[in-house]
Amino acid sequence: MQQFSHDVVVISDVHLGTYGSAARELVVYLKSINPEVLVLNGDIIDIWQFNKKYFPKAHLKVVREIIRMMSHGTKVHYILGNHDEALRRFTKFSMGNLVMDNKLVLDLPTGKAWFFHGDVFDYSVRHSKWIAKLGGKGYDLLILFNTFINKVLVGMGRERVSISKKVKDKVKGVISYVNDFEQNVASIAGEKGYRYVVCGHIHQPAMKQMVTQEGAEVVYLNSGDWVENLSALEYVNGSWTLYQFNEKISEASEEDMNSVEIGLETVLESCES
């Protein structure tokens, strides 16, 4: 498979360990890139909903691909989110090409970029975590139902649909929440003198030039997710682009995906080597 070189790649909200995680598609994408820096911007492993009975091979393959990238020189920054907050006890942890932290600042040629997951701006996460966790389980069930519906639609020769995305797009409260989120993070980034602010958390991929109330110009970036949008951020030669996974690539790479079967032992061996 042809690989493309990038200065920085950002992915977030993979939610490994849940039914909704598009792990197979993410493996295809990871095999196609060769970044100098890979930022895992939170909620990569969904510890909130982790069940030892459900962690398919495709989810393990995501871990394996990230380890492979590190072994080939990619610097991986794991920024912790709310769903993988149990790992925050390892904040500042560093081993080889892996660094784990709550935030990251990169001094890029076109300006400083501030990376963090974004859950600190979510009231339900900070003050009513049980509501957020309950919502997460409901969301996972909706995704599971959506997967069944899409199998039926594909069998009938029709296009896939995203029920949860359609629901969110029609709820005014969600739209208001997203707008407030973007304005808040851009405002704080402007106060800190950052050119870019890069988040995840809200599962809404975006690239926006924003002007804060103080007059600061900030580029707001959100890497989206690998549940519904299958998106990532790529920085190459001073420019950011928003990557959107192409379903046709997944179909074309099915044979390649099935040719690599791994287990947990293989992942552990890769870690030790």
Report whether 140 contacts 51 (CB < 8 A).
no
Q: What is the pTM of this model?
A: 0.77
More confident residue, 208 or 86: 208
The two three-digit tokens of residue 230, written as one number: 């299958």
Q: Residue 241 — φ and ψ, nearest 5°?
A: -135, 155
* Helix, strand, or coil (residue 165): helix
From its phi and psi, is residue 230 left (phi > 0), alpha (psi between -120 and 50) or beta? left
Which secondary structure element, helix H or strand E, spans residue 201, and what is its range? Answer: none
Q: What is the mean pLDDT of residues 11-29?
A: 93
Q: Evaluate if residue 196 carries a pLDDT over 60.
A: yes
State the amino acid at position 224 in one-letter form. G
β-pair partners for 221 = 198, 207
User: Residue 108, Cβ neighbours under 10 Å: how many?
Assistant: 16
Which residues are 11's β-sheet partners?
40
Whether 98 has a pLDDT exceeding 50, the answer reads yes
pLDDT value, residue 59 = 96
Does pLDDT of 137 surpass 50? yes
| Domain edges within the chain | 4-272
Higher pLDDT residue, 47 or 128? Answer: 47
pLDDT for residue 219 is more than 80 = yes
- Residue 163: is it exposed, middle or buried by C-beta count within 10 angstroms (0-12/13-18/19+)? middle
Distance from the Cα of residue 182 to its chain's centroid = 17
CB atoms within 10 A of CB 183: 14
For range 145-158, the mean pLDDT: 68
Please check whether residue 8 is in contact with residue 198, taking contact to mean a CB–CB distance below 8 angstroms: no
Tokens found for residue 221:
């970036």
More confident residue, 146 or 28: 28
DSSP state of 18: S
Flag whether pLDDT at 96 surpasses 90: yes
**Cβ proximity of 264 and 35 under 8 Å:** no
Spatial CA neighbour of 23 closest among 53, 65, 79:
65
User: Which residues are CB-contacts of 127 (< 8 A; sequence separation ≥ 6)?
Assistant: none
pLDDT confidence of residue 149: 65
At the top level of CATH, which class does the domain 4-272 belong to?
alpha beta
In DSSP terms, which residues pair with 250 in a beta bridge?
A: none
Judged by DSSP in three states, 166 sits in helix
> Rounded to whole angstroms, how far apart are CA atoms 34 and 6?
6
**Which of 1-5, 7-11, 232-236, 255-259 has the least mean pLDDT?**
255-259
H helices of the chain, in order, are: 23-31, 57-71, 123-127, 129-155, 163-170, 172-192, 247-252, 254-258, 264-272
Angle at 155 between CA 226 and CA 228, to 5 degrees: 15
Per-residue pLDDT, 260: 37
Percent of the chain with pLDDT over 70: 70
Residue-level pLDDT at 261: 37
